[in-house]
């Protein structure tokens, strides 16, 4: 594998062209659903700090003018919206051929497969939905009631387990030995490259096709760092070593809980940013690391008018490929 790969290949962000027409159709579709469907959802809670107008649909909430909306879109960076490169997909294929049984036991097979699916980013759609987020109730406020992304959504759409040990579960003595080995390899990579961080390229080059007992856990470290609990920067995170070791042994970890908590926190940050942006005369910017592709896919599932044309799913493909 060549070391000339761009470190950002695996997390390349595709900036979709902003379309005012598309934005208006998004808003109108959300409004049409609210006017024609009867639901059993709770009524919006207007006793919170959210103003009454915030319970209205995006097309009714006094959204920013087109020029301001474009500036808003350009000010938001979704660092957690990452796409798998070909090297990673090849590594997934190799590891799944050997470890599919273990992945299914740990309840991560669907999640890993879903990580290879490319979901084009619709920033206008995500911002339209995020504008309806209420940080106090952790719900979206629509004219017809409250709705939210749940643990079940994380499980069904992204394939993460809602059951299992917490992400901070400790290791036994044998797991600690594996941890020491990973830390040793980590330090060796940094010494060899005279760098302070370990990128996905250098990590992949060191472990891919080693065909030893550490290749599998190293693959899971990369997967967790880039597609499950990503940070702002393109590097492998030591903090996920214990989680990767547990998963490599078939131990189920409640990843859905961590993913959803991260998303809730970032949705609140984004909602506050949108509010501050509309009230500010300066150009503000924000970087978010949660899995916002879940927000977009969740919206597609709830508002059929906004869905792209479904793909013909092949046998064994994750739901996200639809």
Q: pLDDT (tens digit, 0 to 9) for every residue of the chain, 322 residues total?
A: 434 444 444 444 433 334 444 444 444 454 444 444 443 333 444 333 323 333 333 443 444 456 667 888 888 999 999 999 999 999 999 999 999 999 999 999 999 999 999 999 999 999 999 999 999 999 999 988 999 999 999 999 999 999 999 999 999 999 999 999 999 999 999 998 888 889 889 999 999 999 888 999 999 999 999 999 998 888 899 999 999 999 999 999 999 999 999 999 999 999 999 988 888 755 678 999 999 999 999 999 888 888 877 766 666 666 665 6
172 burial via Cβ count (<10 Å: 0-12, 13-18, 19+): exposed
Closest to 199 in 3D by CA, of 177, 231, 167, 175: 231
Give the predicted TM-score (pTM) of the model. Answer: 0.78
Helices (H), the chain: 20-36, 66-74, 86-105, 109-115, 123-130, 151-153, 173-193, 200-207, 213-223, 241-248, 255-279, 293-302
The answer to whether residues 128 and 57 touch, using CB atoms and an 8 Å cutoff, is: no
- The domains of the chain are located at 20-44+63-308
Q: What is the pLDDT of residue 14?
A: 36
């Amino acid at each position: 594998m060549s070391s000339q790969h761009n470190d950002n290949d695996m997390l390349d962000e595709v900036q979709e062209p902003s379309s005012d027409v598309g934005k208006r159709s998004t808003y109108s579709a959300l409004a049409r659903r609210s006017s024609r469907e009867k639901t059993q959802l709770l009524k919006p809670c207007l006793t919170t700090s959210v103003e009454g107008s915030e319970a209205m649909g995006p097309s009714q909430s006094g959204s920013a003018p087109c020029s301001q909306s474009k500036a808003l879109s350009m000010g938001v960076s979704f660092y957690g919206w990452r796409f798998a490169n070909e090297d990673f997909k090849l590594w997934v294929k190799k590891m799944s051929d050997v470890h599919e049984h273990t992945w299914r036991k740990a309840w991560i097979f669907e999640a890993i497969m879903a990580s290879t699916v490319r979901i084009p980013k619709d920033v206008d759609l995500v911002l339209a939905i995020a504008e309806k987020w209420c940080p106090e109730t952790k719900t979206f406020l629509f004219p017809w009631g409250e709705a939210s992304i749940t643990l079940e959504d994380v499980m069904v759409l992204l394939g993460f387990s809602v059951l299992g040990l917490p992400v901070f579960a400790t290791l036994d003595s044998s797991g600690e030995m594996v941890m020491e080995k990973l830390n040793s390899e980590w330090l060796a990579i940094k010494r060899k490259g005279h760098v302070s961080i370990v990128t996905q390229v250098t990590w992949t080059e060191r472990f891919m096709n080693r065909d030893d007992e550490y290749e599998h856990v190293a693959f899971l470290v990369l997967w967790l760092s880039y597609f499950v609990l990503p940070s702002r920067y393109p590097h492998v995170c030591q903090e996920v070593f214990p989680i990767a070791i547990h998963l490599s042994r078939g131990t189920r970890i409640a990843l859905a809980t961590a993913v959803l908590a991260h998303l809730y926190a970032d949705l609140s940050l984004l909602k506050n940013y949108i509010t501050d942006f509309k009230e500010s005369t300066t150009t503000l910017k924000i970087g978010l690391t949660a899995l916002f592709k879940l927000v977009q896919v969740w919206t597609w599932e709830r508002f059929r008018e906004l869905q792209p044309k479904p793909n013909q799913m092949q046998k064994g493909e994750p739901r996200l490929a639809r």
